[in-house]
Structure 1
């Protein structure tokens, strides 16, 4: 091989971009800065509208049901399409070496997150039950039949055509719950703010992690225009899913402000991620080893959290294990399923660009 051939190969190699190198090309700086405020506004709208209109008598109930179950579909698709898939790509990046190349870590980390949330929920349930017992409430979920989750009596349930799933509906007292008269109101408040609140807190934690990563990615991405448009809709839809869940929580009067606080935390996370990315744009290497590992671990963890929340809390508990929903008309179930499929379908479609 002569010198001219060697020189030509060296020149070609040097002109080939390194997939792991720092990309210093940076444009659309003004739009990236403005994007923080645009995404902040759209995220606030998506999250706060369901909360602000939760007591409105003008908005029909089917609209709230649409937002609730559309949001469930959004959360499930976010877990699979927007978190687990990127985590897999990041943790199998050609920039990584050693242990990271010897095992498929993304699904393993997601599985660990699922078990972590499961164990945490079991612990929270046990602690909550003990708290209710101290207040004088003896709770038996299955009315003496531990083999059947649906075995409890419904003789005191309201008629099936009365919807008890709304945000302002008081939960009826289960026939197998004995309550001391003096602590009835206090214990009911404790029970209402327990399980549902924990599930929403888990959901909030997952989407907050995801939102920070999205903001950081958007700030340094070389494909900013397309990604920016997609993330606007992504954050608005995800905010709608979170906001509808926050609106449905039953909280004591002195804790109702937490709905708005949780909505604002979500809304600010992506702009904060963008601000951090803009500040580190000259040194942060989104293609580097550290960035791939950190993003992959956080994405996989968030995927596990949202998978558990979506499949267990939103689908299993609210539909399959909800006797009232299972006894609903075929038309209502079809509407609910359609809302979920629409939410998942739109988020899966957005996954083609982000």
Structure 2
């Protein structure tokens, strides 16, 4: 019982509704600003810098650093908290939580959900705009338009789901590192989408609309998640709150794992012509990936 009391005290210190709400308000502002910066910078600077080797190489290395941050956030910060929540003695002694490793299952569901979003967006683009292409092989106006639409649909649904799960979370120890991870993600996801938009040559109105929707999707998802949590009427000190925290943390972790491994690492290391043509760039990108994951992992000592 002493161990249980200690664990419960630690969990309660993290699950502070007021502190979590304040963090969410800060996170909405930070995510909105980083999203605006990320998606608008390629659009505004495309004529000056985009396509130049130095610009492309710098963006690639920074994206690899961000991928390391996102993976570390998922595996070192978020997922352990989710396992701890469902392993709490007040939860683990109840059925069905003591009979099955739900944290791992929900993490898997998060990965599959993110994959389903990608597949759905790709199918929609294929049926309405021709064959979609990757960021690095877009050739011709129709393919550039398809690539921009695909990335816009993927980002909107994926980050909307993630925003809702973050908004429902009451664990400030989980939310805090998520803010940094999402800020990195939105900057570089925005750069990718902004680059596609710049290449596609949309009208000013369409460009402004796509930039605005990308920037507000995650903050609106957080607001929706907060509203859903308030209407459920959960007591922060009840086992149900721990269960919800564990499930949401696991789902968020799965989505982050997919973002880091598929959206960033797989795309850049295996489908980027610039990476495959210069061996030193591949080494530098791997070092950046390692530094990103290491720096975020070290933060687990304090956050």
Residue from 143, 147, 154 that aligns with 1:192 = 147
Contact 2:76 2:300 in 1 (8 A): yes
Q: Which structure: greater helix fraction?
A: 2
When the two chains are superposed, the root-mean-square deviation of aligned CA atoms in Å is 4.2
Residue from 229, 237, 256 that aligns with 1:306 = 256
Question: Normalising by the residue count of structure 2, what TM-score does the alignment of the two structures yield?
Answer: 0.72
The CA deviation string for residues 163-217 of structure 1, in whole angstroms up to 9 with x for no partner, is x84xxxx8225xxxxxxxxxxx4x3354122443344335423542453255x32
Cα distance in 2, alignment partners of residues 22 and 192 from structure 1: 44
Q: 2:209 maps to which residue?
A: 257
Aligned residue pairs, count: 280
Q: 2:189 maps to which residue?
A: 245
Relative to 1, partners in 2 of residues 1:111 and 1:92: Cα closer, same or farther, differing over 3 Å?
same
Comparing 55-64 with 338-347, which one deviates more in the overlay?
Answer: 55-64
Relative to 1, partners in 2 of residues 1:81 and 1:210: Cα closer, same or farther, differing over 3 Å?
farther
| 1:1-354 equivalent positions in 2, closer than 5 A | 19=8, 38-54=26-42, 55-56=44-45, 57=48, 61=55, 62-96=57-91, 97-132=94-129, 137=130, 165=136, 171-173=138-140, 185=141, 187-201=142-156, 203-205=158-160, 207-209=162-164, 211-213=166-168, 216-218=170-172, 231=176, 235-249=179-193, 250-251=196-197, 252-253=202-203, 254-267=206-219, 285-322=235-272, 324-354=273-303
Contact 2:166 2:252 in 1 (8 A): no
* Max Rg structure: 1
Relative to 1, partners in 2 of residues 1:101 and 1:310: Cα closer, same or farther, differing over 3 Å?
same
- Structure 2: gaps (5+ residues): none
Cα distance in 1, alignment partners of residues 98 and 84 from structure 2: 12
* Partner SS for 2:39: helix
Relative to 1, partners in 2 of residues 1:263 and 1:316: Cα closer, same or farther, differing over 3 Å?
same
Cα distance in 1, alignment partners of residues 11 and 302 from structure 2: 22
- Structure 1: gaps (5+ residues): 1-11, 142-163, 174-184, 219-226
